[in-house]
Amino acid sequence: MVLLFAVVIGGYLLGSVPVAVLVARVHGFDPRQVGDRNPGFWNMKEQLGPRASAPVFAGDVLKGLCAGLLGRFCAAWTPGAGTSSGLWTAPDTALVYAAVGAAMVGHAWPVFAGFRGGRSILTFVGGFAVICPPAFLLGLVVLAVTTAAARSFAVGARAAVFGAPVLQLLFAPAKQVAATGLLMCLIGLRFGQAALAARRR
């Protein structure tokens, strides 16, 4: 329980680092007040272009990646870690999911930015690289192929991200894939909240 508490708090604090807000501040604006008002990479790309918004892309991915690695590190102190392939009986896997999930919550509701955050997509991507590296690498292939076929990075990114659970099925038990699906439900929740907010404006 101590380790679980540590990875949840650590993951949440990592996710709460408001990368987009910090980068936008350098350029003299608040991403929560312009464009689609989402403090994430896509809105920043619209405002600044791909090159200037690249630190947001990298930073949001790194938040999930570091959270996942934190879960792995803490799992090394868990007796019996890695001795079972089942999600709920493998402490190392459960701690990674807890850390990544907490980072996604931190990105969505960051304590360092008034609890007004983004949709956690890139934070999920970074975490997924730790959760299932082979599926993550296959996702990069899907990204490249779909982007080339559709001539749209946005379409390729959606195919890769939302295809992650399908790709994970090739390498992980169904329980872990279900847990990945639960993480993605947070992304769906954030999209739903954004749609409701847009209707109210």
pLDDT tens, position by position, 74-101: 887 766 554 444 443 444 688 999 999 9
pLDDT in tens, 106-154: 999 999 999 999 999 999 999 999 999 999 999 999 999 999 999 998 8
Q: Long-range contacts: 87-91, Cβ < 8 Å, 24+?
A: 87/173, 87/175, 87/176, 87/178, 87/179, 88/175, 91/3
Q: How many other β-carbons are positioned within 10 Å of the β-carbon of residue 188?
A: 12
Confidence at 201, pLDDT banded by 50, 70, 90: low
The C-alpha atoms of residue 39 and residue 31 are separated, in whole angstroms, by: 5
Asked, for residue 76, whether it belongs to a domain, the answer is: yes
For residue 196, is it within any domain? Answer: no
* Residue-wise pLDDT tens digits, 152-189: 988 999 999 999 999 999 999 999 999 999 999 999 99
Please give the C-alpha separations between residue 27 and each of 18, 52, 113, 144, in angstroms, as whole numbers. 15, 10, 17, 31
Any domain includes 106 = yes
Domain of 68 in residue numbering reads as 2-129
Residue 74, in any domain of the structure: yes
SS3 (DSSP) at 81: coil
| Tally of domains within the chain | 1
Contacts of 161 (CB under 8 A, 6+ apart): 121, 124, 125, 139
Q: For residue 172, is it within any domain?
A: no
Mean of all residue pLDDT scores within the chain: 90
Of residues 194, 198, 66, the one with CA closest to residue 122: 66
Asked whether 78 and 91 are in contact (CB, 8 A), the reply is: yes
- Asked if residue 159 belongs to a domain, the reply is no
Q: What is the dihedral of CA 79, 85, 91, 97, to 10 degrees?
A: 160
- The answer as to whether 14 is a domain residue is yes
